[in-house]
Structure 1
Amino acid sequence: MKKKLLAFVMAATMVFSLAACGSSSSNDSSSSSDSSDSDSAQSGDEVQTFKLGSIGPLTGDNAIYGQAVVYGAQLAVDEINASDSKIKFEFKGEDDEADGEKSTNAYNKLMDWGMQVLVGPTTTGASMAVADVCNSERTFMITPSASAVDVTAGKDNVFQVCFTDPNQGISSADYIAENMPDAKIAVLYRNDDAYSQGIHDTFVKEATEKGMSVVYEGTFTNDTATDFSVQLSGAQSNGADLVFMPIYYQPASIVLAQAKAMGYAPTFFGVDGMDGILTMEGFDPSLAEGLMLLTPFSATVPETQSFVEAYTAANDGVTPNQFAADAYDGVYIVKEALEKAGCTADMSSADICEALVAQMTQISYSGLTGKDMTWNAEGQVSKAPTAYVIKGGEYVLPEA
């Protein structure tokens, strides 16, 4: 993706002059506003412009995820700022290269800028590092895509838009048990990555409890993610006809290519980290034919087309993945919580944090990545993933 990778700043100060109930409000300039504004904002209230930050890998191997998060958040900010909502945002994104230390530095830079709410970081490791700081400094954080339970554990002001690793592992095992009960399963996972390890653990536990046949488990690390011949040979020799891969799309692309080269053609099954493989530069989409995955978002279903068209138009024709959709939802979730809490832009980040914490377990939000999403006191979202299969370079629902 050849995009300018810089921190975005939205010029979001939009001022309205309103007359209602014998009062009016104005800042620099004025324009009239219809009396039917956003549901929770009363006619006559001042526009409130909050500083919203996001963090993700805008450069490096994981850039497709960070770019998607920042661009998805940017699209939501643009829409909100162009609407007649009394909540507006000034937005800034920072690069962390998927590194925890760099992500903390990015957070500090955003706080120096005046950030009041964080929609990020993007990756699990970076989010775990920043979540600790947010909790100690009382900055509200909602990560679009970091799915490990440890990101939110013990931190009442940290929330997730994506479903958790246990949810993905359990849901995957349940789906396979219901739809492919006789499958002989191999599991290929990265054991130095919290995301991959966490999904593996819950998947194997759930699969075992359901009496499923897990015939092989193969591991790799970040340093060995270029050759999967040993793992694929192990899966094949043990008779695995389904390979579960709770991994990201980059190593998965290598797995698929090497499996084809050796003539091994099981059903490959992934989770949300697999999303993005079809738009990976240099990847042959035919290698993903028949690949199954659980994800909360598809760019090919009618319900998401308005978002997809707006995103591709703003980003040189690039199709959004679920990371972009999660970030887009994340901004709207923040907006709704700010409205419900009655926050004003002159509040400190710490005061806004406490107000939003009180609201998050009370609100319900329906967006691109789930309907009637709710959050528990541990910051985990309740929503269900959907199973898709890749056919002809598109996600489609599996045949019944």
Structure 2
Amino acid sequence: MKKAVRFLAAAMVVMMLAMALAGCGGSSGNEIVIGGVGPLTGTAATYGQSVRNAAQIAVDEINEAGGVNGVKLKLIFEDDEADGAKTKSAYETLMDKGMQILVGAVTSGSSIAINDLVAKDGILQITPSASAIEANVNPNTFRVCFTDPLQGKAMAEYTYGLGYTKAAVIHNQDDDYSTGMYQAFVERFKELGGTISEDVSFAKDASDFNAQVTKIKASDADFLFMPIYAEKAAQIVITLNEKEVNLPLFGGDGLDGILNYLTGDNAKLVEGLVYLTPFVSTDAADNVKSFTEKYTQKYGSAPDQFAADAYDAVYLVKLALEKAGVASAAELDNAKLVEAMHSVELDGLTGHMTFDADGEPQKDAKVAKIVNGQYVAQ
């Protein structure tokens, strides 16, 4: 009798331990859990929403096609409001929910904020859109987008090549993305023989740009470079119009989606604006047309480059899982998955992509221009 009691007690302990372990990190069942973190609310919400929406489309497509080696993917996404402290909290929440792979963070400052956590946990991180150099410092981190210095240098060469020699520049002094692109642009533009006619900045919480625009108006600049995100750029463009400043406008990939912030006649204020991007929704390529139709039908608006970057990021995850031979969620090995990423090749929405030893994407940039209220590849 005592032996039977001891046997039953031992069996109950085993069952309880199994249940407890099932509630810890890792996937539930045979699903590989992809976590995403980015701003779903706040001034940068449009970027996080684009990333989440497109990542979900990619996950759904992969699952509908049978998953990865028969294993389904699951996406869970947390809002960080583009705030570093909240990104850390969101990351920990994702880990508690069983995250095995991270697609994020969306913004540079947020991605930098979790560098130590990602290094400690060793999971594969693919940031779709964090472009600051400091956002990719871990051996297990890869990025889909271009770096800030690359964009700044490229736009300096592009504008100078068009014959512009006197630049006005406005940047966000509190933003890693903005300062990185700004510094690279100024350095390269001067190397080419150009001059910086006016150099102004603003704090991250700024909402009044009259002082900066007044200085730009008083300069002899022949164009304005805005290495900033679209929400602030839209406010600046409106102020430029109010003060009757009419300069050609240029920027980086953060200006993608600026039309979302300009309604009615204000949309005409960015006619002719030129920016760097890896993706234009009006591209005639079959994969771009298919994705754009699906995204627009599901979410009611055309996708931007943040969406395209996220879509490609999920398909990079798929390729890495296949190369690493992952046949079940329990078999996922972080080191093997990271190693596999170095040999993947993707013909994605943002172009043909491979990665160098530092996890940086090797692909070509595109130039887009707003023409008749549409983003058009040049």
Partner of 2:253: 272
Kept after mapping to 1: 8 A contact 2:223/2:248 = yes
Q: Distance in 1 between matches of 2:334 and 2:357?
A: 14
Question: Residue in 2 aligned with 1:99?
Answer: 83
1:279–1:319: 8 Å Cα contact kept in structure 2? no
The SS at the match of 1:52 is: strand
What corresponds to 2:354 in structure 1?
Answer: 374
Please name the residue that 1:385 is paired with: 365
- Which one has a bigger Cα radius of gyration? 2
Distance 1:271 1:258, change over 3 A: same
Instruction: Answer whether contact 2:351 2:364 (CA < 8 A) is retained.
Output: yes
Question: Residue 90 and residue 298 in structure 1: after superposition, are their counterparts in 2 closer, same or farther (change >3 A)?
Answer: same
Cα distance in 2 for residues equivalent to 1:298 and 1:119:
21
Contact 1:48 1:344 survives alignment (8 Å): no
SS of structure 2 residue aligned to 1:356: helix
Query: How many equivalent pairs are there?
Result: 345
Task: Tell me by how many angstroms 1:48 deviates.
Answer: 6.3
**Equivalent of 1:58 in 40, 43, 48:** 40
What residue in structure 2 maps to residue 28 of structure 1?
none
Q: What's the CA shift for 1:84?
A: 3.5
Structure 2: runs of 5+ lacking an equivalent? 1-28
Counterpart in the other structure of 1:243: 224
Displacement of 1:229: 2.1
> What's the TM-score once normalised by structure 2's chain length?
0.87
Could you say what secondary structure the match of 2:149 adopts?
helix
- Note the alpha carbon deviations across 1:298-327, whole angstroms, 9 max, x for none: 111222111011011111x12211111100
Question: What is residue 11 of structure 1 aligned with on the other side?
Answer: none
Counterpart position of 1:286 = 268
Whole-angstrom distance in 1 between the partners of 2:358 and 2:187: 22
Structure 1 or 2: larger helix share?
Answer: 2
Instruction: Find the aligned partners of 2:136 and 2:62 in 1 and give their Cα distance.
Output: 27
Candidates 195, 204, 218, aligned match of 2:186: 204
**Secondary structure of 2:114's match?**
helix
Match of 1:156, SS state, is coil
CA distance in 1, matches of 2:164, 2:273: 18
Of 317, 326, 337 in structure 2, the residue corresponding to residue 334 of structure 1 is 317
Paired with 1:362 and 1:254, the residues of 2 have a C-alpha distance of: 43
C-alpha separation between the residues in 2 aligned to 1:161 and 1:353? 19
Q: Does 1:323 align with 2:306?
A: yes
The one-letter code matched in structure 2 to 1:218 is V
SS at match of 1:108: helix
Superposed displacement of residue 185, structure 1: 0.7
Alpha-carbon deviations, 1:362-389, whole Å to 9, x = none? 2221101122x11122221122221111
Task: Give the superposition deviation at 1:287.
Answer: 1.4
Equivalent position SS for 1:222: coil
Query: Following the alignment from structure 1 to structure 2, what is the Cα–Cα distance between the partners of residues 328 and 212?
Result: 38
- Residue 112 of structure 1 pairs with residue 92 of structure 2: no
User: Mind listing any 5+ residue stretches in structure 1 that lack a counterpart?
Assistant: 1-46
State the alpha-carbon separation in 2 of the partners of residues 77 and 195 from structure 1: 28
RMSD: 1.7
For 1:330 and 1:376, the matched residues in 2 are separated by 16
Question: Structure 1 counterpart of 2:95, which letter?
Answer: M
Identity of aligned residues (%): 42
DSSP 3-state at the match of 1:318: coil
Partners of 2:333 and 2:246 in 1: CA distance: 52
- 8 Å Cα contact 1:343-1:355 kept in structure 2: no
For residues 72-101 of structure 1, the C-alpha deviation after alignment (integer angstroms, 9 at most, x for no partner) is: 100000111111443420111111111112
* Contact map agreement 1:140 1:352 (CA 8 A) in 2: no
Q: Does 1:163 align with 2:146?
A: yes
Instruction: Measure the CA separation in 2 of the matches of 1:282 and 1:176.
Output: 28
Contact 2:30–2:330 (8 Å) recurs in 1: no
Q: Which amino acid aligns with 2:364?
A: A
Structure-to-structure mapping, 1:80-95, within 5 angstroms:
80-85=62-67, 86=69, 87-95=71-79
Q: TM-score, normalised by structure 1?
A: 0.83
Give CA deviations for 1:16-58 in whole Å, capped at 9, x if unaligned: xxxxxxxxxxxxxxxxxxxxxxxxxxxxxxx963111111111
